[in-house]
Chain A
């Protein structure tokens, strides 16, 4: 059992208070990280370790408004097999459902969070249905239908789970190669990106058909991350492997990028659409920068390329980025062993 470390602050106290930056340093590299969505659990995040071994850890940390410190509750820290590739709190703002956290690695796991403990609620294993579930690269929780979680796997499939029945709802062979990310666009619509370099859109009402809305200009250049604009589902964004640009797509015009964001000085690692605005997106990358862009002029081509409106420089490559949907003024980033939450 690893003991939680004391929180440390980056930079001077005066600067931190003035600039609304809060930092938590974990005892290991952080990769999977996300905000809580429930109204009664503000400034709560889950962070997961990235250790190349079977035992890894997940901690649920909380920002203390009174003193500006981010604390880890030992009772809400638990062991996790393999490094989680993604972590998401249940999208339940109104607290109608149990407090749940989902993680993906060899299997999809759903954890139940109570006041003083975290218990494994479900291990979504295809074996029960005599089907194999390949290792998962990512997943997305359907906000419109919280019973559904879609997972992406290296076995070229996307699987739609019913977490209440704990069964496979649908499994689709989505791509020709490994599927690296998945994102919901509506109740029954999701999209995925793959090592085959394509973005595909699926409709659960027509499972035999999918639409390719983008393919890398170079054949088989993998697409590694995907973000679907929840405020305006016409738009999504994707990251190309080893590329410093983010491609923004309009699903009404397949294969033609609406705009390409090219201001990062190194590869991009993460993207997040603003949860409260239809035309803002945040990107973060190996250049240690988090940039916020205003895409309200997407219709008109901008001379010389679009510039971001805001920029933040962290102390190392930014590996993870999440924009809080319950508190849209805040984004969280993870770099090295640090978690930082930033006011926009």
Chain B
């Protein structure tokens, strides 16, 4: 019969508030990044004024409370939306409207819009101190003590308890005035301490709620207008819903019975038996009803509600103040952090400085030499010297005295020598030496220009390249001379002819000349020797070599050429000893 809970947190809130039969339970979720507590989730367990449902059948008390909590949440979100009218038109027919709420429900709904900085407000203070806060007579205290005091008064909330837990604060409120009870605190804590293992599952949902609440905190100004409208509607609703009030009374009675039942059976933590028993009691109580009591309540209701709504409006306006004082503390905290950071930076700098100077102290106090040196340690001036370092100095005063000694002083002697009519031999010697050096340098330049591909300019390289070049030239000369000698020695001249029936094989080796191969083949064809294949080449020493295969056919006379005829013809056409003679012309 029971509806499954949306999340474990919701289950914990419902179980805890039902176990003590208080009006509502809330969970203020800690938002670590901003250090504030925002509405995480809640369960409304109080009086319900107008019930709206699409179902014809009655539902259980638990189901009614669960739906009510969800409907209140939806109502708040719709009221917070920027386009209120459009949103309302799209809402389902079972959705609540402001006129459907009791004062307690209003209080519960408005809590959604609150958020608390750590150390501020009841939840903020409870979390900062890490201990519970029990506020009895919440509707009578000053708003400084309890920022929602005016709201609580209009809703008749008399007792509020805030209990810090791991990730936030659990708040329970009731319309009864109850004095502080430590057993009560432990009882409520047991629900949340036992349920700590599951928190990871609930975290994503909580984060989502946190984000949503931040957005919804802005449109607080819209609510007063809605509240005013609600006031007008309440009067009409009261006249038309007398029967609903009767039902509300019955529900309250059921709640009381449930609490007694839990006390009678403290060991039981199972929800199913509890739900079954509630159903039984509900059936028993169903027949018991006092229409007269309902009528009495109706008479006093309009006045209280009207005043409460006005107070609620004032409270909503005041809600805009709390954000302002929140800024200065944050700024002060930031400045404090900045000061701390700066001090740490300065300290670290000082430490570095002190550590830097420390190693130098011993060496300064304990010089190596027993005597005091005229020199100072170089390091103390390192930075200064680095800044002014430069490699080449070309100003007139650079190395002044040194250059004077080297460039000017030696020539003082020359002037004096001239003045005193020094020996012409000595002067001529110097001039002769200079002329010799100049000639040498001049000839080195000439030598460099004569040798090709001279790359380096120093004298050693010039000499080395020249030696290399001369060696190359000598090698060329020797090569050319060797070639000439080889040419003179060879006087090759050879002719080989063999004919077997019609097949002829010819070999020729002689000194080469132009057009030699062509002349040979032309002559052979005239003899009736038809060349079929030729292989010929010229050696390096100018010797022509040819190998030919031919077919011997009958010539004009009707006879085949003989070996002797062919051989004689070849010997006549190939050159003799001289390579460039014109013998071939004679044969033509």
Contact = CB atoms under 8 A, between A and B. Distances in A.
B463 interface: no
A241 interface: yes
Contacts of A19: 372-374
B397 interface: yes
A231 B168 CA distance: 83
Contacts of B393: 242-244, 266-267, 286
A307 B385 CA distance: 10
Interface string A218-247: 000000110000000000000001111100
A307 B374 contact: no
B437 A245 contact: no
Nearest to B393: A267
A311 B376 contact: yes
Interface string B398-409: 111111111011
Contacts of B423: 127
B372 A83 contact: no
A106 interface: yes
A34 B412 CA distance: 23
A180 B425 CA distance: 24
A132 B409 contact: no
A242 B394 contact: yes
A113 interface: no
B391 A244 contact: yes
Contacts of B373: 19-20, 310, 343-344
B406 A135 contact: no
Contact of B433 (A18, A156, A269): A156
A82 B406 contact: no
B402 A269 contact: yes
A29 B430 CA distance: 31
Interface string A304-344: 00011111100001010000000001000000000000111
Interface residues of A, number: 60
Given A82-B409, A137-B406, A245 B385 contact: no
Q: How extensive is the interface on chain B, given as a class?
A: 35 or more
B382 A307 contact: yes
A244 B373 CA distance: 25
Contacts of A309: 377-378
Interface string A145-172: 0000000011110000000000000000
A286 B361 CA distance: 32
Interface string B468-496: 00000000000000000000000000000
A155 B388 CA distance: 38
A105 B399 contact: no
Contacts of A319: 401-402
A134 interface: yes
A263 interface: yes
A13 interface: no
Contact of A343 (B372, B376, B430): B372
B269 to A, nearest CB: 76
A225 B406 CA distance: 10
A156 B409 CA distance: 16
Nearest to A154: B410
B313 to A, nearest CB: 77
B378 A310 contact: yes
Interface in B430-480: 430, 433, 437, 441
A125 to B, nearest CB: 10
B430 A134 contact: yes
Nearest to A181: B406
A21 B371 CA distance: 12
A173 B433 CA distance: 10
B327 interface: no
B391 A243 contact: yes
A316 to B, nearest CB: 11
A85 B410 CA distance: 9
B425 to A, nearest CB: 7
B347 to A, nearest CB: 31
A307 B379 contact: yes
Contacts of A140: none
Contact of A266 (B375, B398, B404): B398
Contacts of A206: none
B378 A311 contact: yes
A83 B413 CA distance: 10
B406 A342 contact: no
Nearest to B398: A267
Nearest to A334: B401
Contacts of A85: 405-406, 409-410
Nearest to A32: B405
Contact of B389 (A31, A105, A263): A263
A327 to B, nearest CB: 12
A242 B382 contact: no
A135 B414 contact: yes
Nearest to A179: B406
A207 to B, nearest CB: 17
A52 interface: yes
Contacts of A131: 429
Interface in A111-133: 127, 131-132
Given A265-B389, A266-B398, A344-B374, A134 B405 contact: no
A292 interface: yes
Nearest to B390: A244
B375 A312 contact: yes
Interface string A18-33: 1111000000010100
B399 A135 contact: no
Contacts of B284: none
A20 B370 CA distance: 12
A308 B378 contact: yes
A176 interface: yes
B432 to A, nearest CB: 10
Given A135-B413, A343-B372, A263 B405 contact: no
B184 interface: no
A343 B390 contact: no
Contacts of B371: 20, 329, 343
B378 to A, nearest CB: 5
B402 A224 contact: yes
A99 interface: no
A307 B399 contact: no
Given A52-B412, A311-B381, A178 B406 contact: yes
A154 B430 CA distance: 10
A155 B428 CA distance: 12
Interface of A: 18-21, 29, 31, 50, 52, 54, 82-83, 85, 105-106, 127, 131-132, 134-137, 153-156, 173, 176, 178, 180, 224-225, 241-245, 262-263, 265-270, 286, 290-292, 307-312, 317, 319, 329, 342-344
Task: Return the 5 tightest CB-CB contacts between A and B, nearest first.
Answer: A135-B410, A310-B375, A342-B374, A106-B413, A132-B426
17 contacts: A31-B405, A83-B405, A135-B411, A135-B412, A137-B406, A137-B410, A178-B406, A242-B394, A243-B391, A291-B378, A308-B378, A310-B377, A311-B375, A312-B374, A319-B401, A319-B402, A344-B373
Interface of B: 371-379, 381-382, 385, 388-394, 397-406, 408-414, 416, 423, 425-426, 429-430, 433, 437, 441
Given A21-B374, A307-B378, A343-B373, 18 more contacts: A19-B373, A52-B408, A52-B412, A83-B405, A132-B429, A135-B414, A137-B405, A137-B410, A224-B406, A265-B389, A266-B393, A269-B402, A286-B397, A307-B379, A309-B377, A310-B376, A319-B402, A343-B372
